[in-house]
Chain A
Amino acid sequence: MVFSSVAFLFYFFPISLLLYYAAPRQWKNAALFLISLVFYAWGEPIYILLLLFSTIVDYLNGRLMERYDQQEKLRRLILIGSLIVNIGVLGFFKYAGFLVLTMNQSFGTNLPLMELPLPIGISFYTFQTMSYMIDVYRRKVAAQRRFIDFGAFVSMFPQLVAGPIVRYDDIAQQLQHRRITLEMFAEGIRRFIIGLGKKVLLANNIGLVWDMTQSDMSHLTTFGAWMGIAAFAFQIYFDFSGYSDMAIGLGKMLGFSFPENFRYPYIAASASEFWRRWHITLGFWFRDYVYFPLGGSRVGRGKLLLNLFIVWFLTGLWHGASWNFVLWGLYFGLLIGLEKLWLEPVLRRMWKPLRHLYLLAAVLFGWTLFAIEDLPSLVHYLRVMIGLGGEGWINEANVYVLSNNRMLFFMLMVGSTPLAARLANYWMRSTRHQTLYAIIELLTLALILYGATAYIIDDTYNPFLYFRF
């Protein structure tokens, strides 16, 4: 069930709220666990067992580690066992087919392919349980003794299928005691509606432009190629960050504070900065559990490059079992490596708009690697982008698409910057007409919700982009 659907918004969520708030305090986590299981089973009736398996195994591992608190070797063994199970599950369901295919292609073997559908959200929840186990091992957090609470953490529906990746550490406190205030609930609603609008009104609509570009690669023009990949860049950002907004908003309505996941990535001025603003929780995860343990950047030049390679290889691979994602990850690793070694001083001296231009070009190039899976099409697309081998610079169809989406492109561009939020904030703080501000804010939110509802009901195009994560 996606958040931007009638079934979720008008049935599942109101009923969940009712159950959750009707439950007495000591039963709230149980209610949340149950609601989340129903939410997951709704879309994955079979794989719910896998989620439960993961939950039970790491609950038990956590308890075991606590029991043998004094035996360092045993604790290590438990950690390794848990990681093997988690990575094994992820590897089997997400990467086995890919591995077999790659083996067959490179070595001419003929291993049989198993076509298993990928369990939704598996990359998110296995990363969460792994962070839990590692943190317990590092004694950063105490093991959770109550199964229900642990289950509520792993399966918590707002962030289950598309993040943010909430670590146990982030919400351990809140699982035991949380105070839900009216203000927090209202703030959650505001956040949810903004996220819903980003997904349904902006991302879905601009996604059509990318779809159209992709479906007719033979008549590509240079302008069309740039417009197409820009459309994809907008789609994935507004879809993904919209999803995170909705998750954070839903979390707030239930009394949880999730970590932020996006901070206007497209206003970054370097690749390193981009990744501090894009899918922040994933970046932190790899930093804390892979990059730092490997020694981080306080190592020799050779080791640094190796570390960057490992981290960015894995980051790319996390996004899907296909080589183009690996390529995409390594590409960013390379850029960040170059920036760390040489580019940073150069960039710092550069005129600021030029730095942004560098980043945008770098990101758009990156998105072509991400979005176009087969190599010949990718090469063709890139060639057309620089004016080679396409059907000219621009054609009438491009003009039509641009003119049709002019308002949308404008809103997407403004929405990619903190401009609107800052203006609203400034106005709220400085105005003497607080009531007027409140009314306008309420009306805006109502309008977004109203429009989004209309688009959800005439649901011609409402994709879920993270089925490969």
Chain B
Amino acid sequence: MTKTRARLLVICFVGFISVLGLWSAIKPDRTMSEFENRVLASFPSFTLEKLWTGKYTEQLEDYVVDQFVNRDMWVGVKSDLERLSGKAENNNVFFGKQDYLFERFEAPMDMLDKNMNQILRFAERQQAHFDSISLLMVPNAQSIYPEYLPPHAIATDQAQPPLMAFITKQLGGTVNIVSLLQMLTEHKNEQQLYFRTDHHWTMRGAYYGYTAFAESIGISPVPLEGMQQHLLSEAFYGTYYTKANQRSTKPDRLELLDPSLPKYEVCIKGSKGCSPSFYHMEALQERDQYKVFFNGNFPIVNIRVDHQDKEKQRSIIVFKDSYANAFIPYLAQHYTHIQMIDLRYFRFQLDRYLAEHPADDILMLYSVTTMAKDDIFKWLN
């Protein structure tokens, strides 16, 4: 190596590591990464015990990784390199065709078994007190659009339709299972039923969920044509985007289909006042624009609608995950009182709560992913 070459290499390398290190150290910390949609590690508090156990240095390492200068850029570079090297995925999110992103679904059967048993126990106990108890399972996007997955990727992804068939077989005798696969597949080419960059369904997807549910309990669904359409956003980047970290991904359109309703109010239990609308337009300024529906998830939300028709003087309890948020506005066309309960945050004694807040119907609306992975159905019992 000649002197000049050596000097150049030394200057570049030592410069690179010391400048980036120093810069990262003095730049102000960020609490949150919008790009990755998560809270970043902050400077750890010091205790002697943490030092002895090695926990302190561990936290310090997390801290410097999270607060590295231009972290978002580096995370994007890694994703680009994965793609450049011919990989069809990054961080378990597939780069699909037509700009679709899909998250690989893998779930051990034991959690699903456990959850089904909880639902069964609950339904058997409550059956007598309600006109209907229904379960609506929302499949993931690749169950409806498998052709958009990268070639052969389907083999490494656990298919949800067989799981749904299994659940139907196990619970079908006790619970009214609303099957969505056929309905969604029939309409999949009309309009986008799922977001490309987010795990949720669009309001149009939710409409077919509503149709299937309504028909299953003998309500005739209101046709889509009469509803007002609003384009809320053309720059929605969802959760898959924040995992795949591909800046070149095209954003989603977020569309509102507003059913015409009489006056109604949405009351979040524990917060002051009620809102006259399902939609929370301030959320459009945030990264997670899906929060435009109800501004996110809460333990208990009460919706009262001023219906005059006699057959609409009914009430329903909806146990739900976030998929229900785009679905509820349609349901409100048929009930004067809807109680949304999110079991992830609900910590009351449920049987007593139901006795004190009676209703006519029960709907459990969950994504198959939640049913197979989340340990939340224990709160039913």
**Which residues of A pack against B, CB within 8 Å?**
1, 5-7, 9-11, 13-14, 17, 42-46, 182-183, 185-187, 189-190, 193, 395-397, 399-401, 403-408, 434, 438, 441-442, 445-446, 449-451, 453-460
- How many A-B pairs have beta carbons closer than 8 Å: the answer is 133
Which of A5, A445, A454 contacts B74, CB < 8 Å?
Answer: A454
Ordered by A's residue number, 24 sampled pairs between the chains whose C-beta atoms are within 8 Å are A1-B61, A6-B61, A6-B64, A7-B60, A11-B64, A42-B57, A45-B51, A45-B54, A46-B52, A182-B6, A183-B6, A185-B6, A186-B5, A186-B9, A186-B10, A396-B155, A400-B152, A406-B86, A441-B5, A446-B12, A454-B81, A455-B81, A458-B245, A459-B65
Interface string of B275-319 (1 = CB under 8 A from A): 000000000000000000000000000000000000000000000
Which of B21, B78, B89, B150 contacts A10, CB < 8 Å?
Answer: B21
Contact B68 A401 (CB under 8 A): no
Contact B1 A187 (CB under 8 A): yes
Say yes or no: A460-B17 contact (C-beta < 8 A), given A7-B60, A404-B86, A454-B75.
no
Enumerate chain A residues within 8 angstroms of B355, measured Cβ to Cβ: none
- With an 8 A cutoff between CB atoms, is B88 at the interface? yes
Contact A454 B60 (CB under 8 A): no
Which of B14, B16, B154, B156 contacts A17, CB < 8 Å?
Answer: B14
How many Å from the CB of A292 to the closest CB on chain B?
38
A56 to B1, CA, bound (A): 41
Interface string of B78-115 (1 = CB under 8 A from A): 11010001111101000000000000000000000000
Enumerate chain B residues within 8 angstroms of A408, measured Cβ to Cβ: 85
Contact A445 B85 (CB under 8 A): no
Nearest-neighbor residue (CB-CB) of A192 within chain B: B13
Contact A403 B10 (CB under 8 A): no
- With an 8 A cutoff between CB atoms, is B18 at the interface? yes
Enumerate chain A residues within 8 angstroms of B154, measured Cβ to Cβ: 396
A405 to B79, CA, bound (A): 15
How many Å from the CB of A240 to the closest CB on chain B?
22
A186 to B6, CA, bound (A): 5
Interface size of B by Cβ–Cβ distance < 8 Å? Answer: 51
Interface string of B131-162 (1 = CB under 8 A from A): 00000000000000000001111111000000
**Which residues of B pack against A, CB within 8 Å?**
1-10, 12-14, 16-18, 20-21, 24-25, 51-54, 57, 60-61, 64-65, 68, 71, 74-75, 77-79, 81, 85-89, 91, 150-156, 245
Enumerate chain A residues within 8 angstroms of B77, measured Cβ to Cβ: 450-451, 454
A451 to B77, CA, bound (A): 8
Say yes or no: A189-B10 contact (C-beta < 8 A), given A10-B20, A45-B52, A183-B3.
yes
Enumerate chain B residues within 8 angstroms of A457, measured Cβ to Cβ: 65, 68, 71, 74-75, 78
Enumerate chain A residues within 8 angstroms of B79, measured Cβ to Cβ: 458
Most chain A beta carbons < 10 A, residue from B1, B9, B54: B9
- The SS class assigned to the A binding surface is helix
A187 to B13, CA, bound (A): 12
Contact A186 B156 (CB under 8 A): no
What 4 pairs across the A-B complex have the smallest Cβ distances?
A396-B155, A186-B6, A10-B21, A400-B152
How many Å from the CB of A12 to the closest CB on chain B?
9
Enumerate chain A residues within 8 angstroms of B4, measured Cβ to Cβ: 438
Enumerate chain B residues within 8 angstroms of A450, measured Cβ to Cβ: 77
How many Å from the CB of B338 to the closest CB on chain A?
41
A407 to B54, CA, bound (A): 38
A384 to B327, CA, bound (A): 49
A19 to B194, CA, bound (A): 57
Most chain B beta carbons < 10 A, residue from A1, A403, A404: A404
Contact B155 A399 (CB under 8 A): yes
Say yes or no: A44-B54 contact (C-beta < 8 A), given A6-B61, A14-B18, A193-B13.
yes
Enumerate chain A residues within 8 angstroms of B75, measured Cβ to Cβ: 454, 457-458
Enumerate chain A residues within 8 angstroms of B16, measured Cβ to Cβ: 449
Contact B74 A453 (CB under 8 A): yes
Contact B151 A403 (CB under 8 A): yes
A442-B12, A457-B75 known, 8 other contacts, Cβ within 8 Å = A1-B61, A6-B68, A14-B14, A14-B17, A189-B10, A404-B88, A438-B4, A453-B74
A404 to B24, CA, bound (A): 34
Enumerate chain A residues within 8 angstroms of B54, measured Cβ to Cβ: 43-45
How many Å from the CB of A458 to the closest CB on chain B?
4
